[in-house]
Amino acid sequence: MPLKIYNTLTKQKAEFLPQNPPVVKMYTCGVTVYDQCHLGHARSLYIFDVIRRYLKYRGYDVQFVRNITDVDDKIINKAQEQKKTSQQVASENIASYDRDLEALGIARADQEPKATDDIPDMIQHIQGLAQKGFAYPIDGDVYFDVRKFKDYGRLSGQSIDQMLEAVRIEKDSKKKDPLDFALWKKSKPGEPSWASPWGEGRPGWHIECSSMSMKHLKTQTLDIHAGGRDLVFPHHENEIAQSEALTGKPFSRYWIHHGLLTINGQKMAKSLGNFITVQEAISQYGVDNLKLFFLSSHYASPIDFTEEKILEAQKARRHFVEFMDKVHGWSAYPGQPMVPVSDDDFGKVDAAVAAFTAAMDDDFNTPQALAAMFHLVDWGSVLISAGKEEAFRYALLRLSELFGLLGLEVKTAQELPEELRELVRQREAAKKNKDFTRADALRQEMRSRFHLAAVDTVSGITFIELEWKKRMRHAN
Ligand SMILES: [Zn+2]
């Protein structure tokens, strides 16, 4: 089955066909480092991390660039507010962003260019646009002449009039048209600035992405350009105009946009007191629970963060952990004969994994993919009850593969102390060698040293209930 992606540009879900398979050149608009990252950023970073991982899993050679905007009006305003330099504000927030990525377990992009490192490329890009008649300078600023670019509005599907309503019309503007946007801004005293053919200044936000994506992906046509829904207009519309006006080629084959996050139905804002930073969210809810919460909605849909939804995510995680505990804790009775396993036992495991892949192939439908994982767990539990060891261990193996694919850390083995894991290994070896006296002695040792609550026996199968797990369950 082919992988299908909903493309904002064509407003259709269509087969994903990169320009030069298996290479996929993917760019996402990164953060503007004027503040700490919040829960909305975490969703954006994580969802695109999942898409990137899945493309790799599907055999694509993904080249991924995620920029950092470290020169911008918001940074300059913050610096003035805090009586710092723009560089100080940017570097503090980059450090915090790095910590967030690390804590969330989001893979680093292949390249993470900072806007301030690529200013000469942006100047060159603007010069090219001016030569082609798409840009005009006025008093040290340079604007893009929107009326010259006939496809303007295609991505956001708006008419010029609709777009005019959306932009703020400045009274004393020197622009030819209210929709024209700044490619280069003359700097005021005290602002970060670079020398250019139009005098001291700095790049506009939109040109940064056009220039950095093409430069670092070494192409004029990206395969995937991704970002938040709020960036469609004007940011991405402007990126297309600037890039295509210069190169005459399509800027990106696919445009992917994630929906926005609200908190209890409200937009997140410091003024509303519902602003949750990534660090706060992690310490309060845990990384896996946040990720399961994000996966529970399709990436393109809006997502509302509520206490109830995070409880559902916790429940989902516990469901996985319990299954893994059962597998790890499972041991046959001494002398119990091996239960024969049929092709169907394995086949149903594979079918659940195939359902997962089919869901992900359908525009990365993560809620459906999660449902397939629950089917896998349910079937695995049936296999455990039947004592079909080979088959349920296989189920666990496939499940772990999917956890890895989604960047989830759900692993019980990780939560077990190393000495206990060693005893489990020794006991498994003893059982394999039919040394049941030793296996029994090891079980006694595990029980006494690690205060195992009980050894439950359900239809002849032994489960180990760990005291620490019981405690966790009560704590939750
Ligand atoms: Zn961008």
Are 115 and 212 within 8 A, CB to CB? yes
* Residue 463 pLDDT exceeds 80: no
Q: What is the Cα–Cα distance from 93 to 99, expressed in whole angstroms?
A: 10
Q: What is the Cα–Cα distance from 397 to 413, expressed in whole angstroms?
A: 13
Most confident of 181-195, 429-443, 449-463: 181-195
Q: Which fold would CATH assign to domain 307-475?
A: Four Helix Bundle (Hemerythrin (Met), subunit A) (1.20.120)
The Å distance, Cα 400 to ligand 1 centre, comes to: 34
**Higher-confidence position of 473 and 292:** 292
**Least confident segment among 87-91, 245-249, 396-400:** 396-400
The Å distance, Cα 474 to ligand 1 centre, comes to: 45
The Å distance, Cα 141 to ligand 1 centre, comes to: 20
* Residue 193 pLDDT exceeds 90: yes
The Å distance, Cα 237 to ligand 1 centre, comes to: 10
* Residue 295 pLDDT exceeds 80: yes
pLDDT band at 455 (very low <50, low <70, confident <90, very high): very low
Are 38 and 46 within 8 A, CB to CB? no
Long-range own/partner contacts, residues 41-45 (CB < 8 A, 24 or more apart):
41/100, 41/278, 42/100, 42/104, 42/278, 42/281, 42/290, 42/294, 43/258, 43/261, 43/294, 43/303, 44/227, 44/228, 44/258, 45/100, 45/101, 45/104, 45/106
**Higher-confidence position of 337 and 265:** 265
pLDDT on residue 273:
84
**Least confident segment among 75-89, 159-173, 354-368:** 159-173
pLDDT on residue 451:
54
Closest CA to 198 of 186, 180, 211, 182: 186
The Å distance, Cα 21 to ligand 1 centre, comes to: 24
Residue carrying the six token digits 């666990």: 396
What are the boundaries of each domain within the chain?
4-258, 307-475
Q: What is the Cα–Cα distance from 467 to 476, expressed in whole angstroms?
A: 14
pLDDT tens-digit series, residues 87-131: 999 999 999 999 999 999 999 999 999 999 999 999 999 999 999
Tokens of residue 34, six digits: 């004027």
pLDDT on residue 468:
38
The Å distance, Cα 375 to ligand 1 centre, comes to: 39
The Å distance, Cα 228 to ligand 1 centre, comes to: 10
The Å distance, Cα 66 to ligand 1 centre, comes to: 9
Average pLDDT value over all residues in the chain: 89
The Å distance, Cα 244 to ligand 1 centre, comes to: 15
Give the rounded percent of residues in the chain with a pLDDT score beyond 90: 72
Neighbouring residues of 321: CB distance < 8 A, sequence distance ≥ 6: 410, 412
The Å distance, Cα 278 to ligand 1 centre, comes to: 21
Are 8 and 256 within 8 A, CB to CB? yes
pLDDT tens-digit series, residues 370-379: 999 999 999 9
pLDDT on residue 348:
96
pLDDT band at 469 (very low <50, low <70, confident <90, very high): very low
Most confident of 34-43, 416-425, 429-438: 34-43
Are 258 and 44 within 8 A, CB to CB? yes
The Å distance, Cα 382 to ligand 1 centre, comes to: 48
pLDDT tens-digit series, residues 128-172: 999 999 999 999 999 999 999 999 999 999 888 888 887 777 766
**Least confident segment among 270-284, 346-360, 421-435:** 421-435
Residue carrying the six token digits 């804790």: 329
Torsion of the alpha carbons at 51, 57, 59 and 64, rounded to the nearest 10:
40
pLDDT tens-digit series, residues 329-351: 887 666 677 788 899 999 999 99
The Å distance, Cα 30 to ligand 1 centre, comes to: 7
Q: Which fold would CATH assign to domain 4-258?
A: Rossmann fold (3.40.50)
The Å distance, Cα 337 to ligand 1 centre, comes to: 62
The Å distance, Cα 29 to ligand 1 centre, comes to: 4
- For residue 170, the tally of other CB atoms under 10 A from its CB is 9
**Higher-confidence position of 467 and 261:** 261
* Residue 308 pLDDT exceeds 90: yes
The Å distance, Cα 28 to ligand 1 centre, comes to: 7
Q: What are phi and psi of 44, to 5 degrees?
A: -60, -50
The Å distance, Cα 199 to ligand 1 centre, comes to: 25
Interval 69-96 mean pLDDT: 95
Are 369 and 296 within 8 A, CB to CB? no
